[in-house]
Amino acid sequence: MLENYFPVAVFILVGIVFGVASIVAGRIIAPHRPDDEKLSAYECGFDAFGDARGKFDVRYYLVAILFILFDLEVAFLVPWAVIFRDIAGSETLRWFGFAEMSLFILVLVTAYVYARIKGALDWE
């Protein structure tokens, strides 16, 4: 029974050894010459100002969530488009595939219209 797990154990061991060896080799080989310029915080070409833990506007998160939502929905459209010829070639799948994707696009358009009406995509 344990011989079945031996390849997994070897794989984990090789991964750990490779990771540790890479870090140690980087520490030994890489030059370490810090100066004020290298140690300074870089933020868009000028010195940082204000608190990094400041509050963001809720609309920023709303736009980010909407982006993820629509991005995932487009990711579902791509596989359907890839197998479209197979769906269209089969008489039984033709209308089912069409109805399924039409419903999916209807939900997508409804979500977009709702977000647009609520002003979620407006940035002031």
| pLDDT tens digits along 10-55 | 999 999 999 999 999 999 998 888 888 777 776 666 666 667 677 7
- Up-side HSE of residue 75: CA atoms within 13 Å toward CB? 6
Q: What is the pTM of this model?
A: 0.48
- Between the alpha carbon of residue 124 and those of residues 56, 57, 59, 63, the distances in Å are 14, 11, 10, 13
